[in-house]
Structure 1
Amino acid sequence: MPRFAANLSLMYTEHDFLDRFAAAARDGFQGVEFLFPYEHPAAEIRRRLDDNGLVQALFNAPPGDWTAGERGTAALPGREAEFRAGFARALDYASVIGNDRLHVMAGLVPAGAERARCLAVYRENLAHAAAAAAAHGITVLIEPINTRDMPGYLLNRQDEAQAIRREIGAANLQVQFDCYHCQIVEGDLAKKLERDIGGIGHIQIAGVPDRHEPDLGELNYPYLFDVIDRLGYAGWIGCEYRPRAGTSAGLGWLRAYLAR
């Protein structure tokens, strides 16, 4: 049966961030994920995890200036030192929080920049990150993101992400398979999961097209969960969706699985 992790950046937003851990545990979640921890001391986040019997599935390395619209620096020429310093900070946090997955965001291709140059910088930074993370037993994740929600993002397709993973050749570099993003850009999710499962290090879900609960919209998640189980995936499935009308009220889909 899948192991579900609540995404505390999108879910339980009716609570202050540090109170979302307890709310997720009360609803039956055993794991959590979120975008960024850096506004809070790592030790305080670890305390909230321990107090509520939760496992941290992953979080993201620093993305640059998020409020100004930046969505990662790993592929931005001239920002290499900033990226590497930020990744070192993420490793420091992970050493306290206890997660073994870190997502590295590529970034938006700058106006006038050559895509080939951005890809070269991306590969160099990912190789650096994977080597640094290996010493800590941590896997680095890269994620294709759809062009509707994040226009201009460097990485959009699963096959492209898997090709980059193979080119770099680090055992601890894998792809984050977000069903929501993949459905919008490509579709054919079951076949892509079957094709790429050996290189997938984390899975995320949301309803399509509105990014609400996974029992809303065009995707048949019970079928996909059976596919994921059949393929032997043992990692977390992150629930990265925006509840339509209150997080706990929309968890009928989860209660059905917990009752099995």
Structure 2
Amino acid sequence: MPKFAANLSMMFQEHAFLDRFAAAAKAGFRGVEYLFPYEWQASDIKKALTDAKLEQVLFNLPPGDWAGGERGMAAIPGREAEFAQTVELAIEYARELGCVRLHAMAGIIHAGIDREEAEAVYVSNLRHAADATARHGITLLAEPINTRDMPGYFLNTSTAGRKVIAAVSRPNLKLQFDIYHTQIMEGDLAERLRQNLEAIGHIQIAGTPGRHEPDVGEINYPYLFKLIDEIGYTGWIGCEYRPRASTLAGLGWAREFGITSE
């Protein structure tokens, strides 16, 4: 049976961030993820996790100036030293929170940045980050993100992701396979799940279009959930979607998996 993690950056926004952990646990989730923990003390998040008996599944390295439009820096030339600092900060949080997966966002490649140079920097930075995280038993993730939601983002398809993973050549670098992004950019979801299984370190879901609950839109998630079981994926599935109304009101799709809206 698939095991689902609530994404607390998008779900349970009816509550303050540190209160979302208890709300997720009450609904039946046993794991959580979110974009970034750095606004809060790691010890406070750890307490929220412990009190709610939750596993910290995933979070991202610091992205740079998020409010200013930055979406990571791993593929941006000239930011290598800053990127290395974000790796160390993320590892500090991951160790405190018992998190064994970190995602390194590639970044927005603006006009004037040579793409080949960006790719070389991306590969070099990911090697550094993978080596650093490996020392602590942490898996590093690279996620393709669609160009509609994030124009200019460097990594956009699972095919490109596999190419980068091969170039980096580190066993703890895996693919963050977001079904929502993959549907927009590539489609053919069942086959792409099968083809990429050995490289996948984490899966995320959302309905397409709209990025709402997975029971709305063009993706047949009941079929994919069964397929994910059949092909032998046993990792977490992050629910990285924006509820259409309240989080609990939209959890009907998850009732059969032990998650309830009551």
Q: Which residue number in structure 2 is paired with residue 173 of structure 1?
A: 173
Q: Which residue number in structure 1 is paired with residue 143 of structure 2?
A: 143
Please give the alpha-carbon distance, in whole angstroms, between the structure 2 residues aligned to 1:105 and 1:167: 17
1:257 equivalent to 2:236? Answer: no
Please give the alpha-carbon distance, in whole angstroms, between the structure 2 residues aligned to 1:176 and 1:24: 22
CA apart distance, 1:99: 0.7
Please give the alpha-carbon distance, in whole angstroms, between the structure 2 residues aligned to 1:223 and 1:56: 27
Q: Which residue number in structure 1 is paired with residue 245 of structure 2?
A: 245
Deviations along 1:112-151, one digit per CA (max 9) or x if unpaired, are 1111110100000000000000100000000000010000
Where 1:213 maps in the other structure, the secondary structure is: coil
Runs of 4+ aligned structure 1 residues displaced above 2 Å come to none
User: What does 1:1-260 align with in structure 2 at a 5 Å threshold?
Assistant: 1-258=1-258
Answer whether contact 1:146 1:185 (CA < 8 A) is retained: yes
Code of the aligned partner of 2:164 = I
Q: How many pairs does the alignment contain?
A: 259
* Structure 2 residue runs without a partner (length 5+): none
CA apart distance, 1:248: 0.6
Where 2:159 maps in the other structure, the secondary structure is: helix
Where 1:59 maps in the other structure, the secondary structure is: strand
> What is the TM-score of this pair, normalised by structure 2?
0.98
Answer whether contact 1:76 1:110 (CA < 8 A) is retained: no
> What is the TM-score of this pair, normalised by structure 1?
0.99
Please give the alpha-carbon distance, in whole angstroms, between the structure 2 residues aligned to 1:66 and 1:52: 29
Please give the alpha-carbon distance, in whole angstroms, between the structure 2 residues aligned to 1:168 and 1:103: 15
CA apart distance, 1:163: 1.2
Answer whether contact 1:146 1:182 (CA < 8 A) is retained: yes
Code of the aligned partner of 2:169 = G
- Percent identity over the alignment? 61
CA apart distance, 1:217: 0.5
CA apart distance, 1:83: 0.4
